[in-house]
Structure 1
Amino acid sequence: MKLDYQQALSRVTEAQGAWLVHGGEPLLEQNLLSAFREHWQSQGIERQRFELQNVQDWKQVFAALNSLSLFSSQLAIEVHGNIKPDAQSLKLLKSYLQDPMDNFLLIVFPKQESQSLKSAFFQAIEANAAVVALSAYGAQQQQRILQIEAEKIGIRLTTQAWQWLIFNHENNLLSARNTLLELADSFSDLAQIDIPELEQSVQDQSRFSTFDLGDACLKGDLAQAVKILNFLIESGEASPLIFWVLQKEMRLILQLFEQPQNALQLGIWKNKLSLYQNALRRFTPQQLLTWSDLLLRTDQAIKGLGDENPDDLLLQLVCALSGKKIFEH
Structure 2
Amino acid sequence: MKTNPGQLSQLLKKSLAPVYLISGDEPLLVQECCDQVRKAAKEAGFHDRLTFHADHQLDWNAVADEFSAMSLFAEKRRIEIHLPTGKLGDGRAVLERVLQEPPEDIILLLISTRLDAAETRRKWYKELQGKGVHVPVWPVDADKFQGWLQQRASSRGLSLTRGALAIMSERLEGNLLAASQELDRLALLANGNTIDEETVEQAVQDSSRFSGFELVTELISGRAPHACKMISVLQQEGENPLGLLAVLSRDLNLLLELKSAGGQAENPASFLKKRGVFQPQRARAMEQAARRLNRAQLHEAVALCSQIDRATKGFDPLSPWHYLRDMSALLATRA
Output the TM-score relative to the length of structure 1. Answer: 0.62
Residue 329 of structure 2, aligned match among 312, 323, 329: 323
- Structure 1, 163-172 or 232-241: larger mean CA deviation: 163-172
* Percent of matched pairs sharing the same residue: 20
Q: Which amino acid letter does the alignment assign opposite residue 200 of structure 2?
A: L
Cα distance, 1:163–1:188 mapped onto 2, change above 3 Å = closer
Match of 1:32 in 2: 33
Deviations 1:49-68 (A, max 9, x none): 114x8xxx9xx685343122
User: What is residue 319 of structure 2 aligned with on the other side?
Assistant: 313
> Aligned equivalents of 1:35 and 1:239: distance in 2?
23
Which residue number in structure 2 is paired with residue 66 of structure 1?
64
Task: Give the deviation of 1:47 after TM superposition.
Answer: 0.3
Q: Is 1:220–1:279's contact at 8 Å kept on the other side of the alignment?
A: no
The equivalences for 1:242-253 within 5 A come to 242=244, 244=246, 248=249
CA separation of 1:279 and 1:118: change in aligned 2, threshold 3 A: closer
User: Counterpart of 1:79 in structure 2: which amino acid?
Assistant: L
The residue number in structure 1 matching 2:3 is 3
Q: Indicate the SS of the match to 2:129.
A: helix
From 126, 129, 146, the counterpart of 2:129: 126
In structure 2, relative to structure 1, the CA distance for the partners of 1:261 and 1:46 (3 Å cut) is same
SS of 1:143's equivalent in the other structure is helix
State the superposition RMSD in angstroms.
5.2
Greater helix share, structure number: 2
1:174 and 1:280 mapped to 2: Cα distance? 30
Structure 1: gaps of 5 or more residues: 325-329
Give the Cα–Cα distance (whole angstroms) in 2 for the partners of residues 172 and 100 of structure 1.
Answer: 37
Alignment of 1:106-255 (within 5 A): 106-110=110-114, 122-135=125-138, 143-148=150-155, 151=156, 156-160=158-162, 163-164=165-166, 168=170, 173-174=176-177, 176-180=179-183, 183=186, 187=189, 191-199=193-201, 204-205=206-207, 208-242=210-244, 244=246, 248=249
Equivalent in 48, 54, 63 of residue 50 of structure 1:
54
* Aligned AA (2:8): A
Deviation at 1:11, TM superposition (A): 6.3
> Whole-Å Cα distance in 1 between the matches of residues 251 and 323 of structure 2?
9
SS in 2 for 1:180: helix
Conserved? CA contact 1:65–1:103, under 8 Å? no
* In 2, Cα distance between equivalents of 1:202 and 1:321: 29
Match of 1:32, SS state, is helix
Match of 1:327 in 2: none
CA distance in structure 1 between the aligned counterparts of 2:305 and 2:148, rounded to whole angstroms: 35
187-196 vs 98-107, greater mean Cα deviation: 187-196
Residue number in structure 1 paired with 2:85:
81
Q: 2: CA distance between counterparts of 1:205 and 1:31?
A: 24
Residue 182 of structure 1 deviates from its aligned partner by 6.1
How many residue pairs get aligned? The number is 294
- Per-residue deviation, residues 49-103 of structure 1 (Å, max 9, x unmatched): 114x8xxx9xx685343122999764321223234769x93x6544321222215
**1:208 and 1:232 in contact (8 A); partners too:** no
In the superposition, the TM-score normalised over structure 2's length comes to 0.61
Counterpart-to-counterpart distance in 2, 1:281 and 1:134: 25
CA apart distance, 1:8: 2.8
Is the Cα contact below 8 Å between 1:77 and 1:105 reproduced in 2?
yes
Distance between the aligned counterparts of 1:78 and 1:50, measured in 2? 6
List gaps (5 residues or longer) in structure 2.
263-267, 273-282, 331-335
